[in-house]
A = this chain, B = another copy of it.
Amino acid sequence: MPETVFEVDVDSSIEEQPDPIVNRWHPDVPAAASVEPGEKFRVECLDWTGNQVVNDDSANDIRDMDLAPNHHLSGPIRVEGAEPGDMLVVDILDLGPFPDNEWGFNGIFELDNGGGFLTDHFPEARKSIWDLDGVYASSRHIPDVRFAGLSHPGIVGTAPSHDLLEKWNERERALIERGPEDETAINHETHDDEPPLALPPEPEDILLGDMDDDEVEEVADEAARTIPPRENAGNCDIKNLSRGSRVYLPVFVEGANMITGDLHFSQGDGEITFCGAIEMAGWIDMQVDLVKNGMEKMGTDYALFTPGNMEPQFSEYVVFEGYSVDEEGTQHYKNANVGMRRACLDAIDYMSNFGYTREQAYQILSCAPVESRIAGIVDLPNTCVTVSVPKEVFEFDIDPDGLAEETAPTDDRGDLAKPS
């Protein structure tokens, strides 16, 4: 086991963590640890909510979640010798839950507290707890599914420069100012009077590691939220960024100041419930290296990666096809988001044939290694998006031929945890 350079404690409050948690991007957050190029090291991570969710059968914790302090992340890790213009090479050697804490959760957030991709269909809080047994996940709240996890960090990124941070804030502020009119029409996801189109810097609940309180106060209005992925990679939530992947991250500040966390035991493409993977606390083993002057050598100022080859393999799928007509029948223009909505809704309908509630089906799509592809994006006005659900995820046969041959199974497969 490589040396642990950042420790967390799942039984302590955020204030009492062994190493200081960070929940914003800012160039001036002091490094919590330092490593050399070529070095292997372990980073421990809280779950993204910072221990707000418990392993029980009530969704109250999801319903009452305080979102402002998320994500609870580990770092920054300084890489000696890294300079702006370099590419930081990060090998993801392995990751997993803590040995005495082998469980994870998925949550559907309330419509007015975070929501999710299909929040207008699923407005109420729900939760599933997942047991993590070696490489496999299963849930008492979603019986008869069991699958190997394509584990990955939801977040890995480098610190932005002051210039880059300023650019982020400007463009996101501009979006907020342009307002919601057009976009809501297209995305169907924001609904009350003042829907957030982006999350501006939020001084409340800010955590900037070991930064002095004075300095925190000074930068609290500019430190960027960690929700969106950006030039520094960050919250990409890419299910295939799993064991064995090698990520190339642009370096924007001296030392690179890498931050990671938001570990996922498994996730479907899209992470659609928002708390959308099997979320876990745990550890991640990494090795870093540098490509000096890499942004120029590789002709790029963006993140890219080569995935590992240890992904769980599936050979049989049921595939759903969505296109850019929303569920109310309105035609949109080549809108991949609407295509994704429709394919997801179709898949949820389909899984309901087998005794699952729609909420369970929504979480299966969000947790299992579901493939969501933009199949065709040029056939105006419809963009075709496919959602492929691996048949092997289920411990019974979900092939459509089974539905054809007999009356649909009426098994009761229980339900998710609800607010109590």
* Contact partners of A47 in chain B: CB under 8 A: none
A16 to chain B, nearest CB (A): 24
Tell me if A197 and B377 are in contact (CB < 8 A): no
Given the interface pairs A304-B319, A314-B315, A380-B198, the reply to whether A93 lies near B133 with Cβ below 8 Å is yes
Contacts of A285 in B (CB 8 A): 133-134
A228 and B380 form a contact (CB under 8 A):
yes
Contact A340 B336 (CB under 8 A): yes
Interface residue total, chain A, C-beta cutoff 8 A: 130
Q: Which of A383-403 contact B (CB under 8 A)?
A: 383-386, 388, 391-392, 397, 399-400, 403
* A376 CA to B148 CA, complexed, in Å: 20
- Whether B272 pairs with A377 at a CB distance below 8 angstroms is yes
A346 within 8 A of partner (CB): yes
Contact A310 B272, CB 8 Å, known A331-B174, A333-B175, A334-B189: no
In angstroms, Cα B228 to Cα A383, docked, is 8
CA separation between A16 and B230, bound complex, in Å? 55
Please pick, from B2, B227, B331, B379, the residue contacting A229 in the complex, using a CB distance under 8 A: B379
User: For residue A228, which residue of chain B has the nearest CB?
Assistant: B382
- CA–CA, A56 to B397, complex, Å? 35
* Chain B residues closer than 8 Å to A248, beta-carbon distance: 400
B306 contacts A229, CB within 8 Å? no
Output the least CB separation between A256 and chain B (Å).
15
Q: Could you tell me if B298 and A403 are in contact, using CB atoms closer than 8 angstroms?
A: yes
Smallest beta-carbon distance A340→chain B, Å: 6
Closest B-chain residue to A287, C-beta based?
B133
Nearest-CB distance from A215 to chain B (Å)?
27
Q: Give the CA-CA distance A2 to B404 in the complex, in Å.
A: 26
- Contacts of A239 on B, CB cut-off 8 Å? 375
Q: Distance in Å from the Cβ of A90 to the closest Cβ of chain B? A: 12
Known A172-B331, A299-B349; contact A321-B384, beta-carbon cutoff 8 A: no
Chain A residues 73-87 with CB under 8 Å of chain B are 87
B237 touching A379 by the CB < 8 A rule? yes
CA distance A385 to B375 in the complex (A): 13
Specify which of B2, B233, B407 is in contact with A321 (CB 8 Å cutoff): B233
Contact of A148 among B244, B314, B352 (CB under 8 A): B244
Q: Which residues of B contact A240 (CB under 8 A)?
A: 319, 373, 375, 386, 388
| B residues near A375, Cβ cutoff 8 Å | 236-240, 269-271
With A276-B378, A309-B148, A374-B385 already in contact, the answer to whether A300 and B346 are too (CB < 8 A) is yes
14 contacts between A and B (CB under 8 A): A89-B404, A91-B133, A134-B243, A171-B330, A172-B331, A182-B182, A238-B321, A291-B403, A299-B350, A309-B392, A335-B337, A336-B340, A336-B374, A340-B374
Chain A contact residues, CB within 8 Å of chain B: 1-2, 40, 87, 89, 91-95, 99-100, 102, 116-117, 133-136, 148, 167, 171-172, 174-175, 181-183, 185-187, 189, 196-199, 227-230, 233, 235-240, 243-244, 246, 248, 269-274, 276, 285, 287, 291, 294, 297-300, 302-321, 323, 325, 329-337, 340, 342, 346, 349-350, 352-353, 371-386, 388, 391-392, 397, 399-400, 403-404, 407-408
